[in-house]
Chain A
Amino acid sequence: MAAVDRADEPFRLTDIWTNQRSRSLVIQIITLIVLLLAVSWIVNNTIRNLSDLGVETGYGFLWDPASYDINQHLIDYSSRSTHARAALVGFLNTALVAVTGIAFATVLGFIAGVLRLSPNWLIAKLMTVYVEAIRNVPLLLQILLWYGIVVNALPHPRNAAEPVGGFFLSNRGFYLPRPLWEDGAWLIAAGLLAAVAFAIWFAGHARRVQERTGRIYPVLLVTLCVLIGAPVVAFFLAGSPVSLDWAELKGFNFVGGFSVKPEFFALWFALSLYTGAFIAEIVRGGILSVSHGQTEAAHALGLRPGRTMRLVILPQALRVIVPPLISQYLNLTKNSSLAIAVGYMDLTATIGRISLNQTGRALECMSIVLTVYLMISLLISAFMNWYNRRIRLVER
């Protein structure tokens, strides 16, 4: 021990550097000083620049009228609404494309990941082509490609393609019939709720019966029948309270119905396809990480392939799959900021671009955008840490 040997020696200045503890203290103090100097330099510069330019600072501008239009808004919005409302509309648009994209990407990824391990050569190769082709091409390029295909290759609304009656594909967007809820429609919702409640109870009941007697109920079949049947029965009992609002061609464009804009479609489709390819690799890796002995053991117990997958393989694979899966969800959400390339008005495009250009409040606008994204990702990583702790294998 160096400290003990030198106990009687006089203190020398070099000890500060040769002693590990004092050295680490010195390094940290120096780091801190450099950091503080850098921060104060930047703050100082910013203050000087702002006063030189004579721009006001502060978030007050958020309550001024935004005076620009947003073509897709989930809540009421007009060009007289405030910048704050524009930001909120943008945030909701980001959330919309993120949530729908995550749903589609997950379905796509799980199907592709499982099929890549299929014994069927053609299917497995096809999925490999999908994954490799999509993963190795920039997402921005794919968004622009799909947008270009919709806008250039699809016909003008006047001679829109109609693959199924009431569904129109045109270069201004896709049009679907929109359900109109009339009096008594609540009965359908009530029927659905009752069905969900029954399904939950039935699953628990079936498990208890199986644990007690070993009898297996066809849970999936019963649940599906009830979930579909109850709303349908409620629909007729209430006297068909739902009518459809069909899209109609009036003049140069469609009116009515439910429309999907090309910007949204291109962004949503490209994001899902791209993230789906990454999820497929994660799912494949997760399934491969469960040793083959587990499958054999399950078969030896007499479980059929479907049950082997559901009861033995998947629960173990999910432990490996879920953490990277969630970080893919986060990536999808952040990548949705590429919306700006096709003019989909998300958070970055509204407050981070148009509001910024109109008001010149770069500092304020960018800080809002950065904070929102940061909050989303911190929330998701907090959830991920919690989940990781919960599913961690408890070892001896």
Chain B
Amino acid sequence: MDRSGHQVHEKVADMRPPITSVGWVRWLRENLFSSPLSAALTLVTAYVLYLLVPPLFGWAFLDAVWFAASREECWATGEGACWAIVTTRVDQFIYGDYPADERWRAVLAFVLLLLALVPILFDRVPGRARWLVFSLLYPLIAYVLLIGGVPGLPEVETAKFGGFLLTLVIGVTGISASLPLGILLALGRRSDLFIVRVLCVGFIEFIRGVPLITLLFVASTLLNYFLPPGTSFNLLVRVLIMVTLFSSAYLAEVIRGGLQAIPGGQYEAANSLGLSYWKSMRLVILPQALKISIPGIVNSFIALFKDTTLVIIIGMLDPLGIGKATLSDATWQGLSTEVYVFVALFFFICCFSMSRYSLYLERKLHTGH
């Protein structure tokens, strides 16, 4: 009814909400200017970003030189970063000293690695069971491909491995060997067998108590004393062993956390079904414990991947080592920022995608109760 008493049929149009409570104005008010303090912080931060980001962007892209023969040439053409130091040596950064004619083997091994990873990372691929057999065989295939020594594949010394190839070899071997070892150590630490438990605790605490560098020094200086006279064995193998042992001690602690979080009723239920120790672990306890510890496990893998850079200290040429070697060349001296930023980018991409995958896995496995 309107004021004069007549029936009104058409609906009065809805009033629009105040401009401050819809759309981007609302978003700005809630997220950037919710209080005087917040507004001040926003303005100060925005100003600092304005001061920093455009010059950095200019340095990295707009004023950068991508191709040149020396740093003098770089500095003559542009004010910004001299990416030429990276572009001229990109092969070295990828393969190290791996012979140029054999590099297709490294590429093939890398492609096969990606293929082998698919059934491990994603469980909804067709024919997963058969595919997994290939993944299990992959280490052998990669070994034959990279090192060779069989007809058709001339042998390549491991001392020639370098660059991202070396990082991937150490990282992937370390990760795949340390997980089973870590599980065994975690089980051993919670075992009823006194001697086994003491051994595992001692090993884990020792490894976790010392820096990886010192262990690598042990591998490069002391190992020869511990082996029978005259044995010499490959530096890469020594490094792989040390990295694996180091990482497995940290993994063991992560997995122990998962084992402790499993309610005692699960252990008792498995026992009352008559399952043997190994069966109860494999079928009941470990699937649950590993699921809980996934974030920690992936964090350990990321840590291991980052720790591969330490091999430069005992003289191996991973990307960082190649970078340092390049910087000691008089043509390129002083361009350390460019080199390190480039290598950092590679590690960031690898580690960041690992951590994103772990988030995806956590969400997928979060079955709830």
Contacts and interface: CB of A to CB of B under 8 A. Distances in A.
Contacts of A338: 211, 213, 310
Contact of A123 (B41, B208, B229, B336): B41
Nearest to A28: B195
Judged by DSSP, the binding face of B is helix
Contact of B210 (A121, A132, A373): A373
A374 B206 CA distance: 7
B306 A31 contact: no
Interface stretch (B11-19, B90-98, B102-110, B347-355): B347-355
A3 B125 CA distance: 50
A148 B337 contact: yes
B347 A149 contact: no
A334 B225 contact: no
B31 interface: yes
Contacts of A334: 210-211
A244 interface: no
A364 to B, nearest CB: 11
Contacts of A232: none
B340 A24 contact: no
B310 A145 contact: no
Contacts of B224: 49
Given A356-B221, A363-B225, A348 B340 contact: no
A133 B312 contact: no
A340 interface: yes
B205 interface: yes
B194 interface: yes
A31 B194 CA distance: 11
B42 interface: yes
A391 interface: no
Contacts of A50: 225
A125 B300 CA distance: 25
B227 interface: yes
A340 to B, nearest CB: 6
- Give chain A's interface residue range (CB within 8 Å of chain B): 35 or more
A141 B322 CA distance: 12
B214 interface: yes
Contacts, number: 160
B328 interface: no
Given A120-B42, A145-B340, A377-B209, A340 B221 contact: no
A255 B49 CA distance: 37
Interface string B169-183: 000000000000000
B166 to A, nearest CB: 14
Contacts of B340: 141, 144-145, 148
Contacts of A373: 209-211, 214
A52 interface: yes
Interface in A301-351: 334-335, 337-338, 340-341, 348
Contact of A52 (B45, B229, B348): B229
Contacts of B149: none
B213 A122 contact: no
B196 interface: yes
A338 B211 CA distance: 9
A221 interface: no
A153 B348 contact: no
Contact of B41 (A120, A147, A370): A120
Contact of B194 (A28, A142, A340): A28
Interface string A345-389: 000100011001000001100100110011011100100000000
Given A24-B193, A137-B306, A141-B309, A45 B334 contact: no
Given A137-B347, A141-B309, A145-B341, A123 B209 contact: no
Contacts of A227: none
- 4 A-B pairs with the lowest CB-CB distances in the bound complex, closest first: A148-B336, A121-B31, A136-B351, A377-B209
23 contacts: A27-B196, A45-B228, A46-B225, A49-B225, A119-B30, A119-B38, A120-B31, A121-B32, A137-B306, A138-B307, A138-B308, A141-B340, A144-B340, A145-B340, A148-B336, A152-B337, A341-B312, A352-B217, A370-B210, A373-B210, A376-B209, A377-B209, A378-B205
Given A137-B347, A370-B214, 20 more contacts: A31-B193, A45-B227, A49-B225, A122-B31, A132-B352, A136-B348, A138-B320, A141-B344, A144-B324, A148-B336, A338-B213, A356-B221, A363-B222, A366-B221, A370-B218, A373-B209, A373-B210, A374-B209, A374-B210, A381-B205
Interface of A: 24, 27-28, 31-32, 35, 42, 45-46, 48-50, 52, 118-123, 126, 132-133, 135-142, 144-145, 147-149, 151-153, 334-335, 337-338, 340-341, 348, 352-353, 356, 362-363, 366, 369-370, 373-374, 376-378, 381
